[in-house]
A and B are shown apart, each in its own frame.
Chain A
């Protein structure tokens, strides 16, 4: 067990493309860190550099206090779970899990004892003599986990290990991996582009974009206090609604409506004062928007909105709306454009809400929960 420390890590592919810029991360002993970001942001590159499968262009990397920059993967005391699982197709489950022990020259009896133990943990005992081709996706995933666990490494590295599973199995394996990690207490770096996995599995989440680390924090802090509009938009589903507005004397002004910011909001964010008299970006999470005809929405200020469509999910209604204001692009390339541009905001209403498509409503906004960002840099205003 060990901490993993990345200092000023850079990666340049083929002498021109800068995939990772100046990455600094400290992963504590036993911590479960999630590395998340849209596809192509450099997550796999970062993980593969830690594994030793990709050269580090510049910077320092240590695992358990040892500088490992020039070490081969096998000497770094890490184990990796590949997105494709990369099981050896000609070997049985037993041989797959025991392969690293065999390479290390361990005796058959010792191998058997250890593999059996791991197979029991992962419920693979019955399958030890099967070949990967005869396993289901979930079983293959577990074999890949077993192959990593058998080595008792200082750190687990996982690259989108659940992305090949169907949605239901993914939810189940998500919980299994998280509890397994807690049980083993091994430092784990887990790469995903799925922000739900990011929010539910790890101790801390590192959000990346375009090869640059944006924010590292607990899931709750990321959600409540994103450092910039990108993190605000990327974390949370549906995404935070981001709009442009003019701020003057504590009032947000858009073409179609205005919102008076409460004194507490202004007091909590002294930096807001500097933006008075100019442009600002504000954000509202879908759950901070309410149906004004319901009790929950009565106490809030309202803005006029047009309902474009309603998804009734049973536990809540996801309502797609059109507001008379200019939406702001958070910079998430994976973000789906809202219904082909017809709507520009999403709200989550209680199922008691009776709003229907193509109607005009008064949308209640909890102004105490708004987020504010600089219109130029998109950095959070605190």
Chain B
């Protein structure tokens, strides 16, 4: 009996590993293909049969992007918009979350339901109304258009995330500050925020990624090449004169790099329990 069981278990384990490997291949191959293609010449990309490893390994595509001020501008725009939105989101959401977490006020439940309900609308349904608003305020084709619309999408989630995080921090800490002679404002900035770093990092990463990857609103609310962001820039490489596949891939790699770096830096904050030692 026991023996048959272990043999069966081994088979199951084997099948599991095979399945996982298949999954890994499925997920990783496009990324590999992107990397490999970015180091090929544009001609080799169309070679038949396709080459798994670049025959001619070249930085040609990267050089083309990094020396072109128009394309560098896409990166600058993406960084600027994502950074501004992230900073504003975290500051506004922290204040709102502290209110939700620590104070009782009339309409609190209704307000938090309202915040959640904004998340149920598919963003595309808001595209036309936003376009109308942005144009009528004279913000079309400006950074402000992107920053303001992105805030609408990042804030509700950030408020919920941070409220949840602040709820895990003991109220005794706020009360200790009150007894020590500080206001709620002091408690928030001097104690709660410093120990909320993991929650703030998580919120920032989420917000930054959302802005960095956003395509639809960036496409609709901007027009001039100067105002375009990286996702639009990648698309612009398509079909001007020819398909610059190797440049598209190189730009995608360059576009993914900050996300990778941010994720690696942020990771250690997710793991560390920053609030450890305050209680008990």
Contact = CB atoms under 8 A, between A and B. Distances in A.
Contacts of A84: 170, 172, 278-280
Contacts of A85: 278-280
Given A86-B170, A86-B173, A164 B178 contact: no
Given A88-B173, A89-B195, A72 B277 contact: no
B111 interface: no
A133 B181 contact: no
A131 B186 CA distance: 20
B277 A80 contact: no
B274 interface: yes
B177 to A, nearest CB: 8
A308 B151 CA distance: 72
Given A74-B181, A99-B180, A100-B181, A133 B175 contact: no
Contacts of A89: 195, 274-278
Contacts of B126: none
A134 B195 CA distance: 16
B132 interface: no
B164 interface: no
Contact of B277 (A79, A82, A134): A134
26 contacts: A51-B175, A53-B175, A53-B179, A73-B178, A73-B179, A74-B178, A74-B179, A74-B181, A82-B172, A82-B176, A84-B172, A84-B280, A85-B280, A86-B175, A88-B176, A88-B195, A89-B275, A89-B278, A100-B180, A103-B181, A103-B186, A132-B277, A134-B277, A140-B277, A147-B176, A151-B181
Contacts of A132: 277-278
Contacts, number: 82
B194 interface: yes
Nearest 9 pairs of A and B residues by beta carbon: A133-B277, A86-B172, A89-B278, A100-B180, A132-B277, A74-B181, A86-B176, A84-B279, A90-B194
Nearest to A150: B180
Contacts of A79: 179
Contacts of A51: 175, 179
A51 B179 CA distance: 8
Interface string A67-106: 0000011100011101111111110000000011001100
A137 interface: yes
A135 interface: yes
Contacts of B170: 84, 86
Contacts of A72: 178
Contacts of B276: 89, 133
B191 interface: yes
B23 interface: no
A86 B174 CA distance: 9
Interface of A: 51-53, 72-74, 78-80, 82-90, 99-100, 103-104, 131-135, 137, 140, 147, 151, 164
A100 B187 CA distance: 12
Nearest to B169: A89
Contacts of A134: 277
A138 to B, nearest CB: 12
A90 B195 contact: yes
B258 interface: no
Contacts of A135: 277
B182 interface: yes
A90 B276 CA distance: 9
B181 A104 contact: yes
Nearest to A105: B181
Contact of B176 (A78, A80, A140): A80
A83 B171 CA distance: 12
Interface string B236-280: 000000000000000000000000000000000000001111111
Nearest to B172: A86
Contact of B182 (A52, A78, A80, A103): A103
Contacts of A147: 176, 180
A134 B278 CA distance: 11
B171 to A, nearest CB: 9
Nearest to B173: A86
A180 to B, nearest CB: 19
Interface centre among A89, A103, A137, A140 (most CB of B within 10 A): A89
Given A88-B176, A89-B195, A90-B191, 14 more contacts: A51-B175, A52-B178, A72-B178, A80-B179, A82-B175, A87-B278, A88-B173, A88-B191, A88-B278, A100-B181, A104-B181, A147-B180, A151-B181, A164-B280
B65 to A, nearest CB: 42
Contact of A87 (B178, B182, B194, B277): B277
A156 to B, nearest CB: 11
Nearest to B277: A133
Nearest to A88: B191
B169 to A, nearest CB: 10
Interface centre among B172, B176, B275 (most CB of A within 10 A): B176
Interface in B139-192: 170, 172-173, 175-182, 186, 191
Contacts of B279: 84-86
A90 B280 CA distance: 15
A136 B275 CA distance: 16
Contacts of A151: 180-181
B280 A137 contact: yes
A137 B179 CA distance: 22
Nearest to A100: B180
Contacts of B277: 87, 89, 131-135, 140
Contacts of B180: 74, 99-100, 103, 147, 151
Nearest to B276: A133
A131 B280 CA distance: 13
A85 to B, nearest CB: 7
